[in-house]
Structures are given as C-alpha cells and as structure tokens.
Structure 1
Amino acid sequence: MKKIVLTITALIALTALAKAQEALPQLKVENLRPIEELIEAAVERSSTIKALNVSQEQTDQEIAMNKKKWLQHLSLNAGVNYGNGVVSDQLIGDQSTSLTYLTRQNVTYNLGVNIRLPFTEVSSRRNQIKIKELEIEKLDYLKDQERELMKKEIVKLYSDLKHYITSYEIQAEVVETNEMALTVAEGYFKSGKLPLEQYRMAVESNYSSKLEFEKAKNQTWLVYNTLKTIVGQDILK
C-alpha cells in the first residue's frame, strides 16, 4: 500500500513538472516583469516583515500605555459647604443712624486635583518608554535588513533566470542543428559515403546536445518556479 502511495505521489510530481516545463517556450527574457515589481510584491507578502510589523505595533501600544500610567496616581476631590452668615448694614441719614442685620445662607463648592507620583517611578517610566522606543528602532532595522536580503535574493534569481532562459534557447537551436546534421550523416552513412567513426561522432554530438538541452530546461524551470514562489504571483507580463 505504501509503495502505491509513493508511486502515485511521484506520478503527480512528474505531471506537475511536465506541465510547468510545457510553459517554458513562452518563458522569454522579454516576457519577464520588471525586477522592481517582483521585489515590491515579494516584500509585501513577506511573512517575516509582517511579523515585525505586528511586533512594532504591539510595542507602540505598550508605549502608549506607559505614557498613561501616571493617571493611576491622579485623584479628584470635590465638596460642598453650607453655612449661614450675618451681615450688618448701617444706614446714615441727616438726623439718625440705623443698623440693619441680614442673615444669608452661603454655599461653597470645592474641586481639587491631587497627584501623588513618586520621583523614582517617574524616572522608571521614562526609562521604560525609552527602551520601547529603542525596540521599535531595532524592528525598523530588522525590516530594512529583511528587505535587503530579499532584494539580493531576487536580483540573483532574476539574473540566473535570464541566463538559463538564454542557455535554454541556445541549446534548443543546437539540438535542432545536430538533429539535422545527424539526418544528413545517417543518409551518407547508409549509402557508404561516410565512415563509421564520423557517423558515431554525429550521433554522440546529437545525444550530448540533448542532454545539455534537458539540463538547461530543468535549471530554467527550477529558478523560474523558485522566483515565482518567493514573489507569490506570476513573474511574466
């Protein structure tokens, strides 16, 4: 049963490989998308950069929370005072002087804010915020580093792919030429006009060119598929 599963898996892999290699004739240097687009697409889908962005956002939230910690030391006091007061009112006239007493009810409102913030805690809070800000700066550097690594990798793969596409096209022409030469050599050999050694050389040359062609085709497919996987989308126009 295990052998059957492995056989089916191998057949699926070979089928996928064959289908991918069938697309190679359409894979030409002029059909490649600009490398800037591929770098941008790869950076946008990078799970590493996304994780760093999440860490950075989390640190931003921690800084905001630290900046508001002083509010827990803030207290609000309010009060209302009631009282009665006696006020004298003296009236002076030409002939006499009169004194009047008035009773008034006074209402006083008090509102106060108290802050009890130890100096050591102020210093500690500032240090914590500074540490978090340095963490954000570090995350920025890590994101830049990841972008540079991805850029270098894509530039190399892009250059390799262009090289292998050209090599693949050249080898295809070599195979075609050698097959034509072999056909001619075979005709001359059958008619006795070509020595066996020269005919064998034509056969070996044709065989070698086909091996190189398959090698170039496999290399082209491998680099193409690798670059496409990193970018996360088709790399052809």
Structure 2
Amino acid sequence: MRNKFWVWIFVLYLGTGVVHAQSLNEFVVDGLEKNDLAKNLPPLDTLIKMAKANSPRLKFFDADYEFWDGQITLARRAWLRNINLEAGYGYGIFDNLSNQQIAGDPGSQTLFSSEQSRYTVGASIKLPLSSVFNRNREIKNAKAEAKKSQHQKEYAEWELEQLIVKQYNDLLKAHRLFFINASIVESYKLQSIRAEKDFKNGVINLADYTRLQQMLNQAIRAYESQRAEFLIAFKALEGTVGIQIEMY
C-alpha cells in the first residue's frame, strides 16, 4: 500500500505534467529573485553605520574616554590647588597709629580712630612632595585609561560589525526558507485538491488521502515555524541596528 501511495504521488506529478514541475521550480527560482530581501533592505554598510550610531555600548565608551581625557587636564593642573589667593574687605571704625608712631617715635602713644574701608589681599603657596612626585604618574594613568577606553570601543565596533553581518545573512537565509516553505505549502494544497477529487472518484483510498493531508499539515507547520524564524531574525537585526528598518 505504501508503494502504491508513492507511485500515486509520482503519477500525480506526471498528471499535472512536466510543465507543472518545471513551472513550480521556476516559480521558486523566479520568486526568490524577485522577492530578494537584500534588494529591499538598506545596504549592509548602512546598517553597520546605523548600528554604531545607536549603540549604547559605544556611547558608553565615548563617555568614558571623554571622562579620562578630562582627567588628564585635571592632573596637569593639579599643582594649582597648592596656590591660594585670599582677599578681604572690611568697613567700620578702626584705631590707627599717629604719624609720630609711624615715624618711630617711642614716646608717642596716641591712637586715633576713624571710619574707613579696608581691603586685604594675600597669597600663599605650598608644595607637598606627593604632588610633585606623583604628578607625572597621575597624568600617565589618566592617559592609559583614556587609551584603554579607546581600544575597548574599537573592539566593540569590530564585534558589532561581526554581529550585524551574521544577523543580516541569517535574515536573508530565513526569508529564503520562508519563501520556499510557502511554495511547498502551495504545492501540497494543489495536490490535496487533486487528491480529494481522486478520492471521491475511487482512484485512491482513504489511507492514501489521509497520508497526503498529513503531509500538507506538516508542510504548514514547517511554514509557520519558518515564518516565526524570519520574524525573529528581522527583529533581532532591528534591535542591533537600534531603529526600525525601513524597506526600500
């Protein structure tokens, strides 16, 4: 009975004609060419540029580099923390020395008071040895951290490029398989219509007709599974790029 079933499948294909087999193959080939997703997606280089522009990870490294670049400037100017300038202002009644006292006359003890404003300005410098000897080391450390952040960004960019290329090709593969599975389902549907007529006319029995329906159901399940894979691959690429991908 199983051999009879496969013979019937072969006859069914012959019954539809060699032209049908060729047209189905041409349909798949032409359909893949006309529905090539790569023609509707932005170019790969454009996707990579968009991913880099929207990557939170790369933005983190940019901010980290900016921070350490600022630390270099701060380390170079750290010595300014040891210089103090002070200024003061006072207004009121002050006791002042007489001219004799200013001239150095020891016998004069007279003070006189007057209402006036007074300004004071002063400067001081202190140079701790740690600031002197550690300055160059602090500058070098800040430069090393800035350079490390820059290299980390370059490596992250390389990783991002590799991920985009993989997801891009996974999407194209998923789309092609999705289209092929859709074609297989359509082919089985045509066979099912023919088989239903042959079953009613007694050409095939119920077991063969049921088996073909099971094959159709399996093809539909494979189609739905591949459809889900295509959508997942598409959303994964959108997530990495960081924006909604517009089709051309």
Unpaired runs of at least 5, structure 2: 1-34, 86-123
Q: Retained in 2: the 8 A contact 1:29–1:165?
A: no
Q: CA deviation at 1:71?
A: 3.4
**Mapped pair 1:39 → 2:48:** yes
CA shift, 1:211, in A, is: 0.7
Out of 198, 212, 216, the residue aligned to residue 222 of structure 2 is 212
Do the aligned partners of 1:59 and 1:136 also contact (CA within 8 Å) in 2? yes
Deviation, structure 1 residue 44: 1.1
**Equivalent of residue 187 in structure 1, options 173, 189, 197:** 197
Amino acid at match of 2:58: I
- Give the SS at the match of 1:233: coil
Counting only pairs closer than 5 Å after superposition, residues 39-58 of structure 1 correspond to structure 2 as 39-58=48-67
Match of 1:192, SS state, is: coil
Work out which of the residue numbers 99, 107, 126 in structure 1 matches 2:136: 126
Cα shift readout 1:100-119 (whole Å, capped 9, x = no counterpart): xxxxxxxxxxxxxx987566
- Cα RMSD, aligned residues only: 2.4
Q: Deviations over 1:157-215 (max 9, x none)?
A: 11111101000000111111100000000001011112223212221121111011001
- The count of corresponding residues between Structure 1 and Structure 2 is 176
- Uncovered stretches (5+) of structure 1, i.e. residues with no partner: 1-25, 77-113
> What is the distance in 2 between the residues matched to 1:210 and 1:120?
76
The alignment status of 1:172 with 2:182, answered yes or no, reads yes
Q: Please tell me whether the aligned partners of residues 55 and 242 of structure 2 are also in contact (alpha carbons under 8 angstroms).
A: no
Residue number in structure 1 paired with 2:75: 66
Q: Paired residue for 1:233? A: 243
Distance 1:196 1:120 in 2: 95
Deviations 1:76-102 (A, max 9, x none): 9xxxxxxxxxxxxxxxxxxxxxxxxxx
- The runs of 4+ residues in structure 1 deviating greater than 4 Å are 72-76, 114-120
Counterpart amino acid of residue 207 in structure 1: N
Opposite residue 125 of structure 1, the aligned amino acid is R
Q: Distance in 1 between matches of 2:237 and 2:66?
A: 30
Structure 2 residue aligned with 1:143: 153
2 CA distance for matches of 1:225 and 1:49? Answer: 21
CA distance in 2, matches of 1:31, 1:202: 36
Contact 1:160 1:223 in 2 (8 A): yes
Distance in 2 (CA, whole Å) between partners of 1:152 and 1:228 is: 15
Q: Could you tell me the percent identity over the aligned residues?
A: 26
Q: Output the amino acid matched with 1:67.
A: R
Residues 27/217 of structure 1: CA separation in 2 closer, same or farther (3 Å cut): farther
Deviates more, 1:208-217 or 1:146-155: 146-155
Mapped pair 1:154 → 2:167? no
